[in-house]
Chain A
């Protein structure tokens, strides 16, 4: 991708992109992204990140929330790496 492909910074307020729908699937015990005739099954970490994207919260606030929820630290790089992938796949918009 081109213009949209600038890396997402800590001040970005990402959201799930337009034609994707994020939902919890009880049978699969996983968060999934649905789009025309397709599905992405997210792993646990990706699901934790994606379900918190609301277009309001900054990436920094998201990281703080995750670190607090899971009583851990040092998630910044993992979150940024995932968001870069998710943006490249078109799942999220900054």
Chain B
């Protein structure tokens, strides 16, 4: 008996036989009342065709569960904008999923919370400090604070565990102490201080959002002080932005290995930003079952294993550790998704990351020709898509 080595974690599977899609992210809608400058939804989201119907989603849930999915995240956009959310949660619960709702809290009324509890919802992740437009509200504890307070009170009163998620960037990172204190005051069990990563809207706004090294180090030190002070009362995760690393992260725990995202119009993706990889055809759940998508769709096999790798990854002794990093970041910064993620200092394109980091050290007051932040907005989305601005380099 060897019970002590209880966990196997989530191991990577060989290219020929992927493990089950353990994580199903159901992006129910791109509609959202917020306008976050760091949103990871595609920049051209407003051109998305019709949302999946309730019947489509129910089928997707059944197929994914049969394929071995066990965590289900209902996300968006703002998933509360779907009137059938309760019905979908109830079916996911009945199927044996652990159900997570990822929400801004806008629309989380007592009545809907009661219905979601009855439907069997297991957990709510509440995002706060949603947009820089609201930064002042937040910092002055006015509108946003009241909304989050109401939402978190509702979450707590129904007995859900609460994860607070706050996207951290250049404009709010210096207030990380206040953010932690707010999370404690609201009674969160977990706090995710997730530094913005630079995809989609955040990529457009990168220069305005990437913190300086000094900001980052101060925030991390302060977070560690709070961790020590608060002990087990609240678990705080601090996610460093990739740009300050010299080795890339193993993106999505390996391409097509664990994560399956379904977009509002039914496109199946191995990660929530992979739609930007224009050369790859991704399947749609309207035309293919989840089982077939996961096991046979070319889009999902494209970057499985390591046979697609180029140098310096191909001969790198660390290639199994990070699998070459993020394909989207490689595309955005080098123009080729099969290149090494340029976060890696072995990449011949690493200087492009270094240039962005160097610019992040320049104080705002000393910057010339500062581009204004672009807020996520359907009208802007259409303009950007039509102007063909969604190109890289």
State the A residues within 8 Å of B (CB). Answer: 1-2, 19, 21, 23, 25, 27-28, 32, 34-43, 45-46, 49, 75, 78-79, 81-82, 85-86
Which residues of A lie under 8 Å from residue B307 when comparing CB positions?
none
Cβ 8 A contact of B6, one of A28, A34, A39, A85: A85
7 shortest interchain CB distances as A-B pairs: A27-B68, A82-B3, A46-B6, A45-B3, A34-B98, A36-B123, A19-B161
Q: Which of B201-241 contact A (CB under 8 A)?
A: 231-232
- Is B232 a contact partner of A37 (Cβ separation < 8 A)? no
Contact of B67 among A27, A42, A43, A49 (CB under 8 A): A27
The answer for the CA separation of A46 and B3 in the assembled complex, in Å, is: 5
Q: List 14 A-B contacts (CB under 8 A).
A: A2-B232, A21-B122, A25-B68, A27-B20, A28-B20, A32-B70, A36-B122, A36-B190, A37-B125, A38-B71, A43-B6, A46-B3, A78-B2, A78-B4
Query: Which of A2, A34, A75 has the most B CB atoms < 10 Å from its CB?
Result: A34
Given A28-B68, A37-B71, A37-B163, also A49-B3 (CB < 8 A):
yes
Q: Is B391 interfacial (CB 8 A cutoff)?
A: no
Pick the contact of B7 from A1, A40, A49, A78 — CB < 8 Å? A40
Q: A37-B125, A39-B71 are in contact. Are A81 and B4 (CB under 8 A)?
A: yes
Cα distance A93–B323 when bound, in Å?
38
Residues of B within 8 A of A38 (CB): 71
Is B5 in the interface zone, CB < 8 Å from A? Answer: yes
Q: Is B279 part of the binding interface, using a Cβ–Cβ cutoff of 8 Å?
A: no
Q: Mark B108-151, 1 if CB is under 8 A from A, else 0.
A: 00000000000000110100000000000000000000000000
Q: Which of the residues A37, A43, A45 comes within 8 Å of B123, measured between beta carbons?
A: A37
Q: How far is the CB of A67 from chain B (nearest CB, A)?
A: 10
Question: How far apart are the CA atoms of A39 and B71 in the complex, in Å?
Answer: 8
By beta carbon, the residue of chain A nearest B5 is A43
Task: Identify which of residues 158-202 in chain B touch chain A, using a CB-to-CB cut-off of 8 Å.
Answer: 161, 163, 189-190
User: Which residues on A sit within 8 Å (CB–CB) of B8?
Assistant: 41, 43
Q: How far is the CA of A79 from the CA of B4 in the complex (A)?
A: 9
Q: Give every chain A residue within 8 A of B3 (Cβ-Cβ).
A: 43, 45-46, 49, 78-79, 81-82
Contact assessment for A36 and B125 in the assembled complex, using a CB-CB cutoff below 8 Å: yes
| CB closest chain-B residue, reference A77 | B1
Tell me which of B2, B6, B161 contacts A40 (CB under 8 A).
Answer: B6
User: Chain B contacts of A40 at CB under 8 A?
Assistant: 6-7
Question: Known contacts being A37-B123, A37-B125, A41-B9, is A82 close to B4, with CB within 8 Å?
Answer: yes
Interface string of B6-43 (1 = CB under 8 A from A): 11111000000001101000000000000000000000
CB of A54 to closest CB in B, whole Å: 18
Tell me if B256 is interfacial: C-beta within 8 Å of chain A: no
Evaluate contact between A85 and B4: CB separation under 8 angstroms: yes
A24–chain B nearest beta-carbon distance, Å:
9
Q: Separation in Å of the A30 CB from the closest CB of chain B? A: 8
Return the chain A residue nearest B68 by Cβ. A27
Residues of A within 8 A of B98 (CB): 21, 34-35, 39
